């Protein structure tokens, strides 16, 4: 029986995916490299350095590892500037109601995000107060589609994978949840691909999927 729900952050609880896109696009423009929305979508769920490889696809220049690290730092500095403007109102529609309601229904909640900026985002949006555990990019070595971040989140909650549902907007994230042996809820972009066991386009659609646990309410 599902007793815990593990949420991806970017593109699920907060619309930061558009800020990632903006910061990568500004870097690509500076380097004179075309960067499309389709490429931006492929950056969902994967690590910063893997995203950079997608940004550099349009370049014929062979950049060194040192140059790539400078680019990643530049993008992250710009991204953090954009994050500085986040407020609780920037949480995804329904997130500030959904999380306390799921807790009221008896579920334990955790973050399972590959982002190293997750702490900052949770703090600025106030979403952190609803989470029992946070697994983020600072705790893992292998990014999605590897299951490590979901397994780490489950471990922090003291739950087995079979007791967990994984919610993610990225194909890589849904694959990671499945590889972890969890029920998967694909959201937004991943749901368009029917990637999950459940496929939803709004957070409200989670409520019928997760009724109150026995003894709750």
Which residues, other chains included, contact 129 with Cβ-Cβ below 8 Å and sequence gap of 6+?
none
Q: Which long-range contacts (CB under 8 A, 24 or more apart) does 30-34 make?
A: 31/59, 31/71, 33/58, 33/59, 34/58
The distance of closest approach from Cβ of residue 208 to ligand BG6 in the complex, given in angstroms and rounded to an integer, is 26
Active site residue 17: no
- In total, the chain counts a number of residues equal to 217
8 binds Mg ion (CB under 5 A): yes
What's the CA angle centered on 132, arms 131 and 133, to 5 degrees? Answer: 95
Residue 33 or 207: which CB sits closer to ligand BG6?
33
What's the CA angle centered on 18, arms 17 and 20, to 5 degrees? Answer: 60
The distance of closest approach from Cβ of residue 11 to Mg ion in the complex, given in angstroms and rounded to an integer, is 4
Active site residue 132: no
189 binds Mg ion (CB under 5 A): no
- Residue ranges binding ligand BG6 (CB under 6 A): 9-11, 20, 43-48, 51, 76, 113-117, 137, 170
The distance of closest approach from Cβ of residue 16 to ligand BG6 in the complex, given in angstroms and rounded to an integer, is 8
Q: Applying CB under 5 A, which residues contact Mg ion?
A: 8, 10-11, 169-170
């Amino acid at each position: 029986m599902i007793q815990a729900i593990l949420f991806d952050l970017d593109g699920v609880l907060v619309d930061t995916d558009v800020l990632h896109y903006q910061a990568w696009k500004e870097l690509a423009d500076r380097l004179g490299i075309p960067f499309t929305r389709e490429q931006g979508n492929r950056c969902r769920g994967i690590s910063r350095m893997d995203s950079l490889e997608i940004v550099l696809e349009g370049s014929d220049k062979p950049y060194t590892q040192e140059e790539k690290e400078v680019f990643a730092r530049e993008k992250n500095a710009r991204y953090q500037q954009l994050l500085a403007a986040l407020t609780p109102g920037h949480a995804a529609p329904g997130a500030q109601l959904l999380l306390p309601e799921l807790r009221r229904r008896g579920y334990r909640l955790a973050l399972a995000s590959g982002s190293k900026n997750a702490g900052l985002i949770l703090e600025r949006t106030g979403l952190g107060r609803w989470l029992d555990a946070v697994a983020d990019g600072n705790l893992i070595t292998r990014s999605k589609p590897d299951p490590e971040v979901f397994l780490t989140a489950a471990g922090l909650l003291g739950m087995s994978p079979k007791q967990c549902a994984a919610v993610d907007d990225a194909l890589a994230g849904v694959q990671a949840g499945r590889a972890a042996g969890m029920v998967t809820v694909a959201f937004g972009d991943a749901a368009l691909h029917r990637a999950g066991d459940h496929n939803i386009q709004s957070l409200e659609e989670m409520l019928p999927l997760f009724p109150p646990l026995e003894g709750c309410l």
